[in-house]
Amino acid sequence: MTELELKYGCNPNQKPARIFMEQGELPLTVLNGRPGYINFMDALNSWQLVKALKKATGLSAAASFKHVSPAGAALGLPLTEVERKIFMAPEGELSPIACAYIRARGADRLCSFGDWAALSDECDADTARFLAEEVSDGVIAPSYTPEALEILKTKRKGGYNVIAIDPTYTPAPLERRNIFGITFEQGYNDLEITEDMLQNIVTEQKELPQQVKHDMLLALITLKYTQSNSVCYVKNGMTVGVGAGQQSRIHCTRLAGDKANIWWLRQHPKVLGLQFVDGIRRPNRDNAIDLYISDEYEDVLADGVWQDIFKVKPEILTAEEKTAWIAQMSGLTVGSDAFFPFGDNVERARKSGVQYIVQPGGSIRDDQVIETANKYGIVMSFTGVRLFHH
């Protein structure tokens, strides 16, 4: 197939719409549903991310995409008991690719609502069963087991979007796009991100454990497919905060850091002890947890809405408790798609437990940024490579 007609483009008024190949066949097959323009944009960007991540680390990888940027990305490492609870994972042993997607979606469950899922490996029944319980628009993977495909075909009244992509497909060396009727052309960004990029450590502290190297690779590869400007916080093989599409670097760092704080607060004993009413839907539970962590929750309690969500009126999570809990965060890695222009980015990252930084370097104030990192014993690597994505 060289062409696939779509219902419309980014918006319903943008017709006609299609995806097509100027030469050769489309390297993908729609196995179920009718994906739209934005679905395909998410699918193709997210597939590149997970394919690159699998190649760089040798581990199964998954991503949860929204509006052409990842809400989360992760490696297929085993889930802890706390992760099983906060990510709403099923009991029992799970495949690496299922763990990868559960962790990718769990990175930011609020932003992953209605996501596009991408899997580096064949979609199995474990992954399909978890997807079936979530609000999601579709999934892309190199293949599907028969059982997995049957499960996914029952989702959204049979309309769930399922795409299989040829894992051997390589795009043309030049890519084109039109903006306002004008054609832009550039070389396809085939830059391969590897551990060799991490060797230029510019700080006094220089030790990089293997897990941190994987976290740095995850941060960089995630940034490569995130709308710029972007900053990414990572911990133990999963993103915990992605700040995308901001005009200011410090705002990226703050946004991603605030998301990392929320990820950590979801593990607070008071949050883990929340008792929800029977039959509450997963999105409602996610929204309730996000609200409980926020500064607005006391106002909601005063309105008496809690009875619709919780069996027992929860005790307030105070500002002092939140501050004390966040202060316990440690071992995080932060990556940036372009250089940190000032030390304020390091200062903000440090407040969310960052001990490792990977960034291109090249600012006229690199000395100030390095000095700030040294002040807190942070290990920082300069890659020399910018990762803008637009």
State the chain's mean pLDDT as an integer.
Answer: 94
Query: Quick one: 161 and 247 in the same domain?
Result: no
Residue 332 shares a structural domain with residue 200: yes
Give the pairing of strands 17-20 and 69-75.
unpaired
* CA distances to 246, 384, 385, 387 from 196, in Å: 29, 12, 12, 16
* CA 117 – CA 136 distance, rounded (Å): 8
The number of CA neighbours under 13 Å toward the Cβ of 228 is 12
Residue 370 has pLDDT above 90, yes or no: yes
Band (2; pLDDT cuts 50, 70, 90): confident
Residue among 261, 274, 336, 346 nearest 311 (CA): 274
Residues 92 and 203 in one domain: no
Q: Pinpoint the alpha helices (H) of the chain.
A: 37-57, 81-86, 96-106, 125-132, 146-153, 210-224, 249-265, 269-272, 282-293, 297-302, 319-326, 344-350, 366-375
Say whether 121 sits in a helix, a strand or coil: coil
Question: N- to C-terminal Cα distance for the chain?
Answer: 28
| Residue 296 pLDDT | 80
Residue among 13, 157, 178, 390 flagged as catalytic: 390
* 141 and 250 both lie in a single domain: no
Q: Which domain holds residue 84?
A: 7-14+23-165
User: Residue 289 falls within a domain, yes or no?
Assistant: yes
Summarize the confidence of residues 204-216 as an average pLDDT: 96
In this prediction, residues 105-111 reach a mean pLDDT of: 93
Residue at 188 is within a domain: no
The predicted pLDDT at position 210 comes to 95
201 token code pair: 């450590």
CA distance 241 to 162: 27
Is residue 350 assigned to a domain? Answer: yes
Indicate whether 147 belongs to any domain: yes
According to the model, what pLDDT value does residue 319 have? 92
Asked if residue 170 is part of any domain, the answer here is no
Residue type for position 123: C
Q: Are residues 296 and 259 in the same domain?
A: no
Q: What is the pLDDT of residue 177?
A: 92
How much is the average pLDDT of 366-390? 96
Q: Is 261 a catalytic residue?
A: no
The pLDDT value given to residue 303: 67
Percentage of the chain lying above the pLDDT 70 cut = 98
| pLDDT surpassing 80 at residue 1 | no
Residues 110 and 208 in one domain: no
Question: Is residue 172 included in any domain, yes or no?
Answer: no
Query: Residue 158 maps to which CATH number?
Result: 3.40.140.20
* pLDDT digit string, tens, across residues 295-311: 887 776 666 677 788 88
Mean pLDDT of 250-267: 96
- Please indicate, yes or no, whether residues 237 and 375 belong to a single structural domain of this protein: yes
Please report the pLDDT score of residue 186 as a whole number.
95
Radius of gyration of the chain, Cα coordinates, nearest whole angstrom: 21
Which of 380, 38, 39 lies closest to 219 in space, CA to CA?
A: 380
Task: Say if residue 251 is in the same domain as residue 221.
Answer: yes
> Are 298 and 366 members of one domain?
no
Contact 45/63 with Cβ under 8 angstroms?
Answer: no
Kindly name the residue from 66, 224, 235, 259 that is annotated as catalytic.
Answer: 66
In the set 45, 161, 229, 236, the catalytic residue is 229
Separation between Cα atoms, residue 93 and residue 79, nearest integer Å: 10
Location of structure tokens 């890695």: 333
Q: Are 290 and 352 within one domain?
A: no
Average pLDDT over residues 264-293: 93
- Structural domains of the chain, count: 3
Distance (Å, rounded) from C-alpha 112 to C-alpha 101? 11
In a domain, 312, yes or no: yes
| 11 labelled catalytic | no
CA 50 to chain centre: 11
Q: Is 66 a catalytic residue?
A: yes
- Reply yes or no on whether 390 is catalytic: yes
- What three-state secondary structure class fits 273? coil
State the catalytic residue, choosing from 67, 85, 251, 351: 67
Tell me the sheet residues that pair with 356: 333, 379
Beta-bridge partner residues of 178:
183
Output the CA–CA distances (angstroms, integers) from residue 297 to 109, 162, 164, 301, 318, in the order listed: 19, 38, 43, 6, 10
Q: Tell me, yes or no, whether 222 and 353 share the same domain.
A: yes
**pLDDT tens, residue by residue, 135-183:** 999 999 999 999 999 999 999 999 999 999 999 999 999 999 999 999 9
Kindly provide the b/e burial profile for residues 156-174, where b requires at least 16 CB atoms within 10 angstroms of the residue's own CB. beeebbbbbbeeeeeeeee
- Min mean pLDDT across 1-10, 320-329, 332-341 is at 1-10
Lowest mean pLDDT among 31-35, 97-101, 311-315: 311-315
96 and 205 share a domain? no
Give the single-character DSSP code of 161.
E
Give Cβ neighbours of residue 248 (< 8 Å, ≥ 6 apart).
229
Residue among 192, 266, 263 at smallest CA distance from 233: 263
Q: Is residue 63 part of a domain?
A: yes
